Every structure is written in C-alpha cells, then in structure tokens.
Amino acid sequence: MSRFQAVEQANSRPSIDVKLPSNKISDYFATSVFTTDAMRQYISKEAYDSVLLSIQTGQKIDRKIADQVAGAMKAWAAERGATSYSHWFQPLTGATAEKHDTFFTLSGGKAIETFGADALVQQEPDASSFPSGGLRVTFEARGYTAWDPSSPAFIMSVGSSGKTLCIPTIFVSYTGDSLDYKAPLLKSLHLLETAAVPVCNYFDRNVTKVVATLGWEQEYFLVDEALFLARPDLVATGRTVLGAAAAKGQQLEDHYFGSIPERVYAFMLDMEVESHKLGIPIRTRHNEVAPGQYECAPIFEEANLAVDQNQLLMDLMDRIAKRHRLRVLLHEKPFAGINGSGKHNNWSLGTDTGKNLLSPGKTPKNNLQFLTFFINTIKAVSTHDNLLRAAIASAGNDHRLGANEAPPAIISVFIGTTLARILEELEQKVKSGKMDENEKAELKLDIHNKIPDLLMDNTDRNRTSPFAFTGNKFEIRAVGSSANCALPMTILNTIVAQQLVDFRTETEKLIKDGESKDGAILRVLRRYITESKSILFEGDNYSQEWADEAARRGLANVKTTPPALDFFITESAKKVLVGNNIYTDRELDARYEVALEIYKRKVEIEALTMADMVITQVIPSGMRYQADLISNLKGLHDLGIKKKALTAQTELLEEVTELINTLKAEADSMLLAIEKANKHHHAREIASAFCDTVKPYFDTIRAASDRLEQIIDDRYWALPKYRELLFIK
C-alpha cells in the first residue's frame, strides 16, 4: 500500500463501539480467572485448604490434590467455553509463550474431554527454538513447564470463540536449569521473605510473612494499522529507523493530559474491560508527554502476580489494538527526537499484618522500622548499582539510557529533601559508641517528628531519577517499556534480601556485645548512611554536571548494552546471585549469553531493515525527484535561461545526488560491517562488534535519509512521515 493510501485509510477510520459488560467493573472483574474463590466451588474443603496452604508456604502440591484441582479447572473452563488448555510461560525472548492442547482425547474409541494432574503439573513444549544460552544441547532440546500454583490460571479469548485455559508455569530444561524469568523471580521472592521477616520481628513479633509488591506503569505508543504496515521498520523492529522530525513534535506538550482521541479511547476501554475480566486491576489511563504516547497503570499486587499480569497485558494490548485497526508500539524508542517509553516499577514490601514497610509510621517505633527498610534498600542499591544497570540493559533501552534522555545510564537514588535531611541528622547524631537510653529515645522521637514533612515533600518528585523514593515505595524508572519486569524485580529482591541478612548479622553482633536492640539498629543504619551516600542524588540526572559528579563519585556510566551486561558475571554479582541460589553458575553464564545474543539479533535486524529501506525505498524516491530536477533544468536550459538563474534547481540536484551517493555507499559499508561482525566467535565479541561497528551507521544513514526526506517532492516519499504517524488517529 502506498503512503497516500495508508494516510487516506487512517484518516477515514471509524472508531469501534465498545460495549461494557456492565456499568460496574466489580460485576465482571476476574470472571476469566480461576481464583481461589472459583476453585472453592469445585473442590472439597480439604483439597481447598491444602492448596491454599501450598500457595502460602510454597510447598509442593500433593498429586491427588493436583488431580482435583485439574478436574476443577477443566469443569470451570469448560463452562466458560474453553476447549483447550495451555501452559503459559515466560521464556528469555521477553514475550510469553503458549503451547496449546485440547482437552479432547480418545478413550477406547470414544471421544472424551480430559485434564488431569499430569497435564496440569507438567508439560513438554518442543522448546528447542527458545533461547537457552547453550544450556540445552540439541539432542536434549526438550525442556518442561511446571505449574506455578501461586499465580492463578485464566481463560484467554482470541476472537469470539477461541478460548484457552492458560496455566502459569515455570520453564526448566531437563538438566534442571531454569530457562525463564519466572523461576528466578520466585526464588528471589522467597529469599526476600526469609530475610525480611526476622528484621520485621525486631519491631513486630506478629509478622510471619513479607511479600514484595509491584505496581507497574506501562507506557506505549499507538499508530494506525495502515500507516504501521507501510513502514517496514515498524513492522520488523517496532521502531522507526528513519524519519525526519515533524515541524510539530512534542514542543507544546499539549498532548500530555489532553483529551484522548476517540479511537484511542475505544481501544483503552476495550483493553480495560479485557484486563479486568482477567483480574488485572488497571486503574489509570492517560496521555503521555509525546504525541501518540499513552500510559496505563494498575493497582499494585504481589510481585509475582503483577509480573504475570504485565506480561499478559502486553499480549492483550497487541491483540486488542489490532481489533481497532491500531498497532501498539512497546519499543523503548519508536521515534527519534520524541520521548521514549519506559515501564516504571513501583516496588515495596508488605507484611501479613497489613503494613507497608516503606510507609512512614505513626509511632517512633514504626518509623525506626520504616527507616531500617528504607536505608537497607538504599544500601543494597549502592552496593549493587551495576547489577541493577545490567538488569535493565537492552538494545531498545540503550536509546533512552545512553542517549540524551532521562533516565540516564548512571544509577542513583532520589529520596527527597526531607528524608535526605533525616538521614544527615541520623548520621551526625548517632554515636559510633554505645548510646544511653535518653539519647536513643530523643533521637527516635526526633526522627518521628520529622516524618510528617515527608507527606508534603512527596509532591516534590524528581522525574529524572532512575530510582526514586515516592512516599511509600521505591520506583525503578529505568526499566524498558517492552521488558519483562521479572528481571529487575529479581535483582532488586535479591540484593535487598542479601542486605537485610547482612544488616541482621551486624545488628546481632552489636547486641551480643551488650548494645540494646534500638542502639544496635541505629548504629548499623548510621554506618550504612555513610557508606551509601554516593548513590544519593537529588538534582537533574539529565545534566552534564551530574555525569561529571557521578564520575568523581566513582559511579559507573555505561551507555550501551554489551558492557552493561558484563556486570552480570562479575565476582560480586555471582556472589550475591549464585550465592543465594537465584541462579546457578551455569544459568547465570547462559543468561548472559542469551542477553548478548538477543542484543545482537535486534541490532542486526534493524541494520538489515534500514539497508533494505534505503536501497528499495529511499534511494528510488530520491532518484525520481532527481529525474524531475534534471528534466526541469534541461527545459529551462532549452529556453535559453542562463545557468546563473538556475541556482535553486542546481543546488537541489547537487544535494540530492550527493545524498543518494552517501546513502548507497553507507548502506553498502554497513552490510559489510555486519558480515565482519558475524565472523567473531564469542557472543560478547559479536555483540560489541554490532554495537561499535554496525550501529554507528544508523546515525550517518539516518541523517542523509532524513535530509533527503526534507528536500524532495512530498509525493515521492514512500514512507509515512512522522507528522502522519504521530498525529493521525
């Protein structure tokens, strides 16, 4: 389809009516989820109690019970029109994967529907094509998926009749190595709980369970389907590798919180209805800063569930957008010169007594608990900032983290002026030696009295910080919009868990040496404040001054993915990750390889797509205009017009000709660079070659192409322009 046909189609598309199942979301919320309430109606009381206990304690579910649960799931799903089931898992590709089977089978020649414990608990998808970093040699290419009872099964609808019961699972190789995002996440959550409960017990004996909570905010772009399909780069890579800036970009910021276009609104409603049916508690929707950019966010949940829900949502968005003849772009940087997309991960810790451990409390004791978790989190990030950087590294995110866009590649923590002052005072006032009762009481009261200011300070949010405290939670803002939240969550859980273990060890030692509990806690916290000061930054993360200051503080500023990934395999990373059994040594090495390989593939696809577009679309467009200019010049010359009077045509012709030459030469060189890059043997070398020798062509080629786009006859330009992609809805 030509650009003009696409524009025509996009302009004339009606918005689709969305019927709400009911005016009350509560009428249909989670109706497609096999919740514990739903389960309760299908299985015996004993089985139900046993499953709940297993979910709460993480214990293995008995085979007989699993059989009952499977029967219940099948009956529940069949009543809702599902004819097949699928183990649903999160391989390292970043997308979700499903392997469908029907309930149908033959028994003695008779057709029956069946689904038992065997099918529920374990499956063997033919998974040889999923990335494994060499963990599965081809002859044992089979891995298996295993049921995760802590995340509920759900029914996914495709079209009006295709309904599938999806069972959240982990994905493991036959040798027992984990091949997905979920297994390490579950391990990290367990680790964090084990580490956090005893620390909570310093303040509250009643706490027996601590969970990490996650509330993500998902940014995305929408473009019309016809315009999308007319851009090979959007189709192949999810971003525009070429395209001159529109005269109107985001300068006016008039899109932000502006009214939502009708078609987009219909899409959002539809997505929300489907999300709500699937139990995803989406609550907010709005326009983002960039034109064509939007955001949605749910009410937070336990991290494991929230991760699953975000994966599910990304999948849903894609399907529902198609229904509205729109395409959703989850890429971190779909358009040059316009804000990219991120996925803020709001993270906190909640207890089974209903307390948010990162929420300032009402009593001095509560506030000491708050400060304990608050300061330990800062210390963990300070110790393992590089690991956090590695966890958010991807080809797409390089455009945000490494370029002139916040957040930067330097990991720092923003806590706001009130807390910064409280920490400063704590550092000054706590003595390094033993403190008497009066001193401690005074100090605790003093901290407590300052906390109310926090609520006011809460509005003072630093939008440029990659890791910010926002009143009652930390927010990792540097996660890529297309990323699986599981990895940054796994890393954060693990480093905080390790930190809490260290904290407890040190506190116990002081207590053993005769210090009181509060005194010991305060003294350890004081030292942590001193040790992690360099990670705190309250200013503009986007400024050159910060880059200089960070360098003086010794903070890393790694702008590209391959060297950022190296942080995964450092001694300190291995110590905290392998030492805590989140990954085995082999798994960590394999994941490193997989991440490098994915990076390389992404850059390679972008480069090949770009070369293809330049040769088959951009240059031919340029040549048509070149031909026009030539015949125009010839005609004018034939009329006897002097060369001196033909400067406009001559200059244009010269520039067009030069740009065409540049484009051809650079595209050819880039293809050679790809060939050369692929000759390296190790994943790291290949990734580096793509990063350092292929990617630089993106800029030179783009500059030439964008210039050509700006000077040639609009009718000849084959690719939908930015002004069309961004503003036609």
Task: Please say which residue, 487 or 489, places its beta carbon nearer to ligand ADP.
Answer: 489
Binding site for Mg ion (CB under 5 A): 217, 344
387 token code pair: 């690991």
Minimum Å gap between C-beta 463 and Mg ion is: 9
Residues 6+ apart with CB under 8 A from 448: 363, 364, 367
List residues binding ligand ADP (CB under 6 A).
213-215, 217, 297-300, 346-348, 356, 470, 472-473
Please give the Cα distance from 662 to 665 (Å, whole number): 5
With CB cut-offs between 5 and 8 Å by kind, which of Mg ion, ligand ADP, none does residue 473 bind?
Answer: ligand ADP
- Which residues, in sequence order, are CB contacts of 527 under 8 Å at separation 6+? none
Least Cα distance to 502 among 403, 412, 360, 376 occurs for: 376
Contacts of 350 (CB under 8 A, 6+ apart): 210, 211, 213, 356, 357
Q: Which does 348 bind (CB under 5 to 8 A by kind): Mg ion, ligand ADP, none?
A: ligand ADP
Q: How far is the CB of 28 from ligand ADP (least distance, A)?
A: 21
Residue 104 vs 257, nearer CB to ligand ADP: 257
Q: How far is the CB of 479 from Mg ion (least distance, A)?
A: 11
Q: Write the single-letter amino acid at 313.
A: L
d(C-alpha 411, C-alpha 695), whole Å: 24
Instruction: State in angstroms the smallest separation of the CB of 257 from Mg ion.
Output: 14
Rank residues 144 and 474 by Cβ distance to ligand ADP and give the closer one. Answer: 474
Residue 194 partner contact from ligand ADP, Mg ion, none using kind-dependent CB cut-offs of 5 to 8 Å: none
In the list Mg ion, ligand ADP, none, the entry touching 343 (Cβ below 5 to 8 angstroms by class) is none
Give the separation between CA 196 and CA 707, rounded to whole angstroms. Answer: 57
Cα–Cα distance, 71 to 117 (Å, whole number): 8
Q: Is the sign of the CA dihedral 472, 474, 478, 482 positive or negative?
A: negative
> Cα torsion for 317, 323, 327, 329, to the nearest 10°?
0
Q: Which is nearer to ligand ADP, 281 or 539 (CB)?
A: 281
496 and 508 Cβ atoms separated by less than 8 Å: no
Nearest approach, Cβ of residue 407 and Mg ion (Å): 11
Which of ligand ADP, Mg ion, none binds 356 (CB below 5-8 Å, type-dependent)? ligand ADP
Minimum separation from the CB atom of position 218 to ligand ADP (A): 9
Q: What is the spatial distance between Cα 507 and Cα 516, in angstroms, rounded to a whole number?
A: 10
Q: How far is the CB of 215 from ligand ADP (least distance, A)?
A: 2
DSSP state of 415: -
**What length is written for the chain?**
729
CB nearer ligand ADP, residue 288 or residue 593: 288
Q: Where does residue 710 rank: exposed (0-12), middle (13-18), buried (19+ CB within 10 A)? A: exposed
H-only helix segments in 3-108? 3-11, 25-28, 36-40, 45-57, 63-79
Backbone dihedral angles phi then psi of residue 348, each to the nearest 5 degrees: -150, -175
**Closest CB to ligand ADP among 64 and 463?**
463
Residue 368 neighbours by CB under 8 Å, 6+ apart: 203, 444, 447, 518, 521, 522
233 within 8 A of 609, measured Cβ to Cβ: yes
Q: Say whether 412 sits in a helix, a strand or coil.
A: coil
Q: In degrees rounded to 5, what are phi and psi of residue 202?
A: -60, -30
> Which of residues 174 and 257 has its CB atom nearest to ligand ADP in the complex?
257
Q: Which listed option, Mg ion, ligand ADP, none, makes contact with residue 297 (CB within 5 to 8 Å by class)?
A: ligand ADP
Binding-site partner at residue 154 among Mg ion, ligand ADP, none, CB < 5 to 8 Å by type = none
Angle between helices 619-638 and 647-677 (to 10 degrees): 160
- Beta carbon of residue 456, minimum distance to Mg ion (angstroms, whole number): 19
Of 346 and 464, the one with the shorter C-beta distance to ligand ADP is 346
Asked if 611 contacts 667 with a C-beta cutoff of 8 angstroms, the reply is yes
For ligand ADP, the closer of residues 204 and 262 by Cβ is 204
Least Å from the CB of residue 256 to ligand ADP: 13
> Cα 239–399–540 angle (5° rounding)?
135
Closer Cβ to Mg ion, 298 or 622, answer by number? 298
Nearer to ligand ADP, 466 or 720 (CB): 466
30 vs 296, which CB is nearer to Mg ion?
296
CB 603 within 8 A of CB 695: yes
Distance (Å) of CA 464 to CA 71, 412, 414, 594, 658: 51, 10, 9, 30, 41
Choose between 225 and 301: whose C-beta lies nearer to ligand ADP: 301
